[in-house]
Every structure is written in C-alpha cells, then in structure tokens.
Amino acid sequence: MIRAAGCEPITDMDDGVAQADFVCILCPKTKATTNLFNSSRLAQMKSTAFLINTARGGMLDEAALYDALSSGKLAGAALDVFDEEPLPLDSPLLKLPNFLAAPHVAGLTREAAARMAEVTVRNILGVLDGQPNCELMLNREVLRSAALAATNNSK
C-alpha cells in the first residue's frame, strides 16, 4: 500500500527522520518515548525539515529544539504540547520566527466538542437503561462486568 502510493517504507526511525521533510510526533508518552527527540535526533533532521508535536510534552527536548531552530539546523517547528503547560510567556521558543505554539487545544473544535457531548449523553443513558455501549467506553471489561452485576442485582 505504501509503495502503491509512490513511497518507500522506512523501518528505522533515524533513517526516516534524516529523510523526512515533516516529522510529526504522534505516539504515546512512555519511558521509551520520553525525550525521544533530543539534540542528537534533532541533529539528524534536514535543515529544511519541520517538526510537529501534538502528542505529549516531554517527548521533545525544548532547549535542543531552540538551539536547532535558532541556528538554522531545523527550518521550523509547531507544538501544542510542552514540558510545562501552558508554555511560559518567557520561553525563548516564543521569540523565534520559525516556531508556532498552540495552547494544547488542537482537537477541540466545536464539532469535536458537540460529538463528545453527544457520545457522553448516549453512554450515560445506556448505562442507566442497563445497556451500556461498551465499544465506546475506556475500560470495556470493567463496564461489562458492572453492567452484568447491575442487571443481575435488579432481577
């Protein structure tokens, strides 16, 4: 599928980072991904590349990012997550013309908020009716057990 789109798959992250024009950090924050983009990894990126982080703060060394952006070793960066949120107004990153900051609300559109509210109400009504939609719940097994126990207790 990747090759059919005219692309070559990359199996090594460092190779991919070195070749990419845009790198988007979209993985969960774990011990393995904390400080994933440090000065060493940023140095592997092309000077014409852009870095985007919408995952979690702490996955990117912000001081190393500042150095890469201010020295021209990286073309630009856009983040909506930071080590400290909100990003302090005295952050040196905010003084850079090739840096874009968003206040960790990239996914909060009116449409997304309305959909979340609708799903929440439907889930609450389903639980109250003894028929939760377990596919939309976070811990499906716990909710299934609770729904089964509630059904058995009401009989």
Q: Known catalytic residues?
A: 56, 85, 104
- Nearest-angstrom CA–CA distance, 112 and 53: 20
- Whether the bond between 86 and the residue before it is cis, its omega within 30 degrees of 0, is yes
Report CA-CA distances (Å) from 42 to 24, 58, 96, 129, 153. Answer: 13, 14, 17, 53, 58
In sequence order, what are the residues at sequence separation of 6 or more whose Cβ sits closer than 8 angstroms to the Cβ of residue 39? 61, 64, 67, 68
In sequence order, what are the residues at sequence separation of 6 or more whose Cβ sits closer than 8 angstroms to the Cβ of residue 137? 123, 143
